[in-house]
Structure 1
Amino acid sequence: MTNSQSADIVVVGAGTAGSVVVRRLVDAGHRVAVIEAGPTDGRPEIDSPFGAAALFASEVDWALSTVPQSHANGRVLYQPRGRSLGGSTILNGMLYIRGARSDYDAWAAAGATGWSWQEVEPYFRRLENYDGPTDGARGTRGPLPVHRHIDPDPLVTAFVDAAVQAGHPRNDDYNTGDSRGASYAQATVEQGARVTAWRSYVQPVADSPLLRVITDALVTKIVIDNGRAAGVEYVQDGVRHVIRAEKEVVLSAGVFGTPQLLMLSGIGAADELRQHGIEVVRDLPGVGRNLRDHVASPIVWESRRTVPTPRMTGIEAQLITDSPDAGALQPDRQAVFVSFVYSTITENLPEQGFTALAILLHPHSHGQVRLRSANPTDALLIDPGILSDPRDAEALVDHLESLRNLAGQPALAEWIKSEVYPGPSRVNRDALRDYVQASADSGHHQVGTARIGTDPLAVVDPQLLVHGLTGLRIADASVMPTTPAGNTAAPTLMIGERAADLILGTH
Structure 2
Amino acid sequence: MTTIENADVVVVGAGTAGSVVVRRLVDAGHRVAVIEAGPTDGRPEIASPFGAGALFASEVDWALSTVPQSHANGRVLYQPRGRSLGGSTILNGMLYIRGARSDYDAWAAAGATGWSWPEVEPYFRQLENYDGATDGARGTHGPLPVHRNTDPDPLVTSFVDAAVQAGHPYNDDYNAGDSRGASYAQATVDNGERVTAWRAYVQPVVDSALLRVITDALVTKVVIEDGRAVGVEYLQDGARRVIRATKEVVLSAGVFGTPQLLMLSGIGAADELRQHGIEVVRDLPGVGRNLRDHVASPIVWESLRTVPTPRMTGIEAQLITDSGDAGAIQPDRQAVFVSFVYSTITENLPEQGFTALAILLHPHSQGRVRLRSANPADAPLIDPGILSDPRDTEALVDHLESLRNVAQQPALTEWIKSEVYPGPEGMSRDGLRDYVRASADSGHHQVGTARIGTDPLAVVDPQLLVHGLAGLRIADASIMPTTPAGNTAAPTLMIGERAADLILGNG
Bin for the TM-score computed over the shorter chain:
over 0.9
1:235 is displaced (CA, Å) by 0.2
Indicate the residue corresponding to 2:66 in structure 1: 66
Structure 2: how far apart are the matches of 1:316 and 1:4? 48
After superposition, what is the alpha-carbon deviation per residue over 1:348-390, rounded to whole angstroms, capped at 9, x for unaligned?
A: 0000000000000000000000001100001111000000000
**Residue pairs, 1:177-326, within 5 angstroms:** 177-326=177-326
Deviation of the 1:415 alpha carbon: 0.2
Aligned partners of 1:324 and 1:467: how far apart in 2?
A: 36
Q: Per-residue deviation at 1:324?
A: 2.3
User: Structure 1, residues 303-347: CA drift from partner, whole Å, max 9, x if none?
Assistant: 000000000000000000000225561100000000000000000
Q: Is the 8 A contact 1:326 1:332 kept in 2?
A: no
Q: Is the Cα contact below 8 Å between 2:8 and 2:245 reproduced in 1?
A: yes
Q: CA deviation at 1:204?
A: 0.2
The alignment partner of 1:4 has SS state of: strand
In structure 2, C-alpha distance between the alignment counterparts of 1:144 and 1:252, rounded to whole Å: 19
Match of 2:501 in 1: 501
Q: Which runs of 4+ in 1 moved over 6 A?
A: none
1:276 and 1:425 map into 2 onto residues whose CA distance is 48
8 Å contact kept, 1:99–1:177: no
Q: Please list the CA deviations of residues 144-171 of structure 1 after superposition, one character each: whole Å capped at 9, or x if unmatched.
A: 0000000000000000000000000000
Distance in 1 (CA, whole Å) between partners of 2:21 and 2:124 is 14
The CA distance in 1 between the partners of 2:264 and 2:426, in whole Å, is 47
Structure 1 partner of 2:419: 419
Separation in structure 2 between the aligned mates of residue 7 and residue 102 of structure 1, nearest angstrom? 39
Aligned twin of 1:350: 350
* SS in structure 1 of the partner of residue 425 of structure 2: coil
Q: How does 1:65-214 map to 2 (within 5 A)?
A: 65-214=65-214
Contact kept? 1:102, 1:328, Cα under 8 Å: no
Match of 2:51 in 1: 51
Separation (CA, whole Å) in 1 of partners of 2:455 and 2:177: 28
Quick one: which amino acid aligns to residue 6 of structure 1? N
Q: Distance in 1 between matches of 2:237 and 2:80?
A: 24
Partner Cα distance (2:371, 2:264) in 1: 8
Q: Contact between 1:447 and 1:480, CA under 8 Å: does it hold in 2?
A: yes
Secondary structure in 2 matching 1:6: strand
Report the Cα distance in structure 1 between the residues aligned to 2:34 and 2:375, rounded to whole angstroms: 22
Q: Deviations over 1:55-79 (max 9, x none)?
A: 0000000000000000000000000
2:362–2:485 contact (8 Å) kept in structure 1: yes
C-alpha separation in 2, matches of 1:227 and 1:485: 37
Task: Measure, in 2, the Cα distance between the counterparts of 1:142 and 1:277.
Answer: 46
How far apart, CA to CA, are the structure 2 residues paired with 1:491 and 1:135?
21
**1:465 corresponds to which residue?**
465
What residue identity is the alignment partner of 2:164? V
Distance in 2 (alpha carbons) for counterparts of 1:177 and 1:384: 31
CA distance in 1, matches of 2:17, 2:255: 11
Give distance in 1, aligned partners of 2:325 and 2:278.
44
**8 Å contact from structure 1 (residues 336, 357) kept in 2:** yes
Label 1:506 to 1:494 Cα distance change in 2 as closer, same or farther (>3 A). Answer: closer
Amino acid aligned to 1:123: Y
Q: Please list, as runs of the form range in 1=range in 2, the aligned pairs for 1:401-420 lying within 5 A after superposition.
A: 401-420=401-420
The answer for the alignment partner of 1:369 in structure 2 is: 369
What is the identity, as a one-letter code, of the residue corresponding to 1:346? T
| 1:437 maps to 2:437 | yes
Of residues 131-140 and 81-90 in structure 1, the stretch that sits farther from structure 2 once superposed is 131-140
Q: Does 1:453 align with 2:453?
A: yes
- What do the CA deviations read for 1:95-154 (whole angstroms, capped 9, x no partner)? 000000000000000000000000000000000000011310000000000000000000
Contact map agreement 1:35 1:213 (CA 8 A) in 2: yes
The letter of the residue matching 2:466 is V
What letter matches 1:496 in structure 2? Answer: G
Deviation at 1:3, TM superposition (A): 2.4
Secondary structure of the corresponding residue to residue 229 of structure 2: strand
CA separation in 1, counterparts of 2:161 and 2:142? 32
Q: Which amino acid aligns with 1:434?
A: D
Decide whether the 8 Å contact of 2:344 with 2:441 is kept in 1. Answer: yes
SS of match in other structure, 1:320: strand
- Return the alpha-carbon distance in structure 2 between the equivalents of residues 371 and 177 of structure 1: 40
| Matches of 2:378 and 2:122, distance apart in 1 | 40
Aligned-pair identity in percent equals: 90
How far off its partner does 1:425 sit?
Answer: 2.0
Cα pair 1:341 1:355 within 8 Å, conserved:
yes
Q: Which residue is 1:388 aligned to?
A: 388
In the alignment, structure 2 segments of 5+ residues that lack a partner are none
Which sections of structure 1, spanning at least 5 residues, go unmatched?
Answer: none
Amino acid of the residue matched to residue 7 of structure 2? A
One-letter amino acid of the structure 2 residue matched with residue 287 of structure 1: V
Inter-partner Cα distance in structure 2 for 1:506 and 1:474? 17
Say what the alpha-carbon RMSD is for the aligned residues.
Answer: 0.8
Q: TM-score, normalised by structure 2?
A: 0.99
Give, in angstroms, the shift of residue 29 of structure 1.
0.1
| DSSP-derived class of the 2:432 partner | helix
The superposition leaves residues 246-304 of structure 1 with CA deviations (integer Å, 9 ceiling, x where unpaired) of: 00000000000000000000000000000000000000000000000000000000000
How many residues are paired up?
Answer: 507
CA distance in 2, matches of 1:247, 1:492: 23
